Amino acid sequence: MYQQGLIPDCFTFVGVLGICTTVDYLQRGVELHCQTVKLNLDSTPFIGNVIITMYSKFNLIEEAKKAFKLIKEKDVISWNTIITAYSHCADYAKGLSVFKEMTKENSVRPDDFTYASVLTACGGLASIHHGRQIHAYLIRTRLDVDVGVGNALVNMYAKCGCIGHAYSVFNQMSCYNLVSWNSIIAGFGNHGLGGKALQLFKQMKDIGLEPDSVTFIGLLTACNHAGLVDEGQAYFNSMTEIYGITPDIEHFSCLIDLLGRAGRVNEAEKYMEKFPFGHDPVVLGSLLSACRLHGDVVTGERLARWLLKLPSVTTSPYVLLSNLYASDGLWDGAAEARKMLKGSGLRKEPGHSLIEVKGSVEKFTIEKGKGIYCL
């Protein structure tokens, strides 16, 4: 285009920046951003919003923040895009902060997408205080809410531990879609109410709505938390046999974890032999945890050795192996696992907890320790 003497405009950059979504295109995306700066196009919402989205996909939230600040006349899409960007990068607190800043702008009014995005942030923080405030505002100002906002409310209440409120919102919705059903099924499943989750799935089928892959993640999680092993196996097998859905690593991990917790390690290993991702680090780690739970040192040691042959970026295999040996009183093995961890150069990420006090969410991090205590 440049070779023919043509100058790109806003529409050109929006189209090209929109395809810069994978790591391979990061450098190209940055180059295009530089060109928009040279042409003085980056300060327009039309271009700026796409630049924010691009950087958020690469988890470059600081760059997205800079692009947002450079937009001269921010529209509602600009605010929605940066809130979504913070949520995508799991910085939910900052997403809520931006929403508060947005509400102070008299020229911009939040829309349904705004509320859905900020409710997602509340769910990510498990901040019931902020979630209830937004819900109360919606009740005061809206006769009815969009299905997307309703789904976000269901998801928010479920993630904040208020499954009763989530179900109440679900029942009050004027219309539903598949996301609505998936959200409430996952909510009950994550709260250990597997029977209710399976009942809702039956209701969903009775109204003629076909499940998708997300539905089955919720169902398998529900079976996992409720210990419904046979039901979980049946749902997993039905994905391909009845619904034509190919299981992915998330479905497979749920099944392996389900069988492992029930002590059916041999069955889990047979499934692992059937699927190409049977020896994925997440799957092996899940079964190794089950071996520790049930004291199966022989199988656990074999799985750990296999796991340690894979390119590891976490300390989990070493920690699990050490704990497995320790639970069986094999202290020499536990010491060897700790020695291997030290030699790997990896460091265990410190754990943290979130607590909400009077509407303020605080984060507490465990200080670094030494020896066995850091495991």
pLDDT bucket at 242, cuts 50 / 70 / 90: very high
pLDDT value of position 352: 61
Give a three-class secondary structure readout of the chain: CCCCCCCCCHHHHHHHHCCCCCHHHHHHHHHHHHHHHHCCCCCCHHHHHHHHHHHHHCCCHHHHHHHHHHCCCCCHHHHHHHHHHHHHCCCHHHHHHHHHHHHCCCCCCCCHHHHHHHHHHHHHHCCHHHHHHHHHHHHHHCCCCCHHHHHHHHHHHHHCCCHHHHHHHHHHCCCCCHHHHHHHHHHHHHCCCHHHHHHHHHHHHHCCCCCCHHHHHHHHHHHHHHCCHHHHHHHHHHHHHCCCCCCCHHHHHHHHHHHHHCCCHHHHHHHHHHCCCCCCHHHHHHHHHHHHHHCCHHHHHHHHHHHHHCCCCCCHHHHHHHHHHHHCCCHHHHHHHHHHHHHHCCCCCCCEEEEEECCEEEEEECCCCCHHHHC
pLDDT bucket at 2, cuts 50 / 70 / 90: low
pLDDT value of position 188: 97
pLDDT value of position 372: 43
Average pLDDT of the segment spanning 299-316? 72
In the chain, what percentage of residues exceed pLDDT 70? 81
> Are 259 and 268 spatial neighbours (Cβ–Cβ below 8 Å)?
yes
Q: Which two tokens stand for residue 86?
A: 């913070």
At 115-156, the pLDDT tens digits run 999 999 999 988 899 999 999 989 888 767 889 999 999 999
Lowest mean pLDDT, pick from 43-57, 96-110, 237-251, 321-335: 321-335
Whether the predicted pLDDT of 374 surpasses 50 = no
pLDDT value of position 307: 72
pLDDT bucket at 308, cuts 50 / 70 / 90: confident
pLDDT bucket at 4, cuts 50 / 70 / 90: low
Contacts of 183 (CB under 8 A, 6+ apart): 151, 154, 155, 158, 166, 170
pLDDT value of position 294: 83
User: Considering only CA atoms, which of 367, 366, 309, 363 is closest in space to residue 340?
Assistant: 309
pLDDT value of position 373: 43
pLDDT value of position 371: 47
pLDDT value of position 18: 78
Average pLDDT, the chain: 84
Question: CATH 1.25.40 spans which residues of the chain?
Answer: 248-348
Which has the higher per-residue pLDDT, 80 or 21? 80
Instruction: Name the architecture of domain 248-348.
Output: Alpha Horseshoe (1.25)
Which has the higher per-residue pLDDT, 219 or 285? 219
Which has the higher per-residue pLDDT, 103 or 198? 198
Whether the predicted pLDDT of 368 surpasses 90 = no
Whether the predicted pLDDT of 234 surpasses 50 = yes
At 322-362, the pLDDT tens digits run 777 776 666 766 676 676 666 665 566 666 666 666 556 66
Q: Which two tokens stand for residue 361?
A: 């969410």
